[in-house]
C-alpha cells in the first residue's frame, strides 16, 4: 500500500525529536548556558492545519480557535501560544535540556516539565543528536565549530 502522510502524527514526532535533540545539545553547552524545548500547545488559528483534511481546516480549527473552543480547552490564541516561548526565557539555567508543554494528554493549560520515560531517555536523545548531525552534515557539535572560529 502507498505511504499515507499523517500530519498530526508527524508533527508530534517532530516535537519529540526536537525535545531529544535539545536535551543532547544541553549536555554540550558550556556551564551557565541553557536551552529548552517548548510546545506552544494547541493554537489552531495558525497555519498548522493547512495540510489537514477539509474537516479539520474548515470546521475543527475555526471552532477550536474560537472563544468557545478556548473555553472548552480545545485551543488557545496565537498570543497565548507565543507567550509560552517568551516565558521560557525566565526558566532557570538548571532546567536546561528540558521539554516544557501542557500536561500529558492536554492540548492547553499550564506549561510543565515533561517527565515521560521516552522523553528523558538519554540513548534516544543521543540518537537524535547523531541523526541531526548526519542529516546536516555536521558531524561535530556546532559548539565546537563556534569555539574554533
How many angstroms separate the CA atoms of 2 and 123, rounded?
32
Confidence of residue 97 (pLDDT cuts 50, 70, 90): very high
Distances (CA, A) of 41 to 23, 75, 91, 115, 131: 20, 8, 18, 17, 26
pLDDT for 55 = 80
CB 96 within 8 A of CB 90: no
How many CB atoms within 10 Å of residue 118? 10
Q: For 74-89, write each residue's pLDDT tens digit.
A: 888 888 888 988 888 7
Which distant-in-sequence residues (6+ apart) come within 8 Å of 142 by Cβ? none
pTM: 0.79
Amino acid at each position: 500500500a502507498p505511504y499515507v502522510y499523517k500530519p498530526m502524527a508527524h508533527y508530534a514526532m517532530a516535537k519529540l525529536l526536537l525535545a531529544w535533540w535539545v536535551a543532547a545539545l544541553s549536555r554540550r553547552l558550556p556551564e551557565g548556558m541553557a536551552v529548552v524545548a517548548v510546545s506552544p500547545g494547541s493554537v489552531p488559528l495558525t497555519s498548522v492545519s493547512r495540510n489537514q483534511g477539509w474537516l479539520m481546516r474548515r470546521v475543527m480549527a475555526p471552532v477550536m480557535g474560537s472563544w468557545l473552543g478556548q473555553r472548552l480547552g480545545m485551543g488557545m490564541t496565537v498570543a497565548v501560544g507565543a507567550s509560552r516561548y517568551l516565558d521560557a526565557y525566565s526558566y532557570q539555567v538548571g532546567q536546561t535540556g528540558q521539554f516544557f508543554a501542557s500536561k500529558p494528554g492536554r492540548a492547553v493549560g499550564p506549561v510543565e516539565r515533561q517527565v515521560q520515560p521516552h522523553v528523558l531517555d538519554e540513548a534516544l536523545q543521543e540518537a537524535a543528536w547523531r541523526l541531526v548531525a548526519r542529516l546536516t552534515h555536521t558531524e561535530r557539535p556546532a559548539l565546537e565549530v563556534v569555539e574554533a572560529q
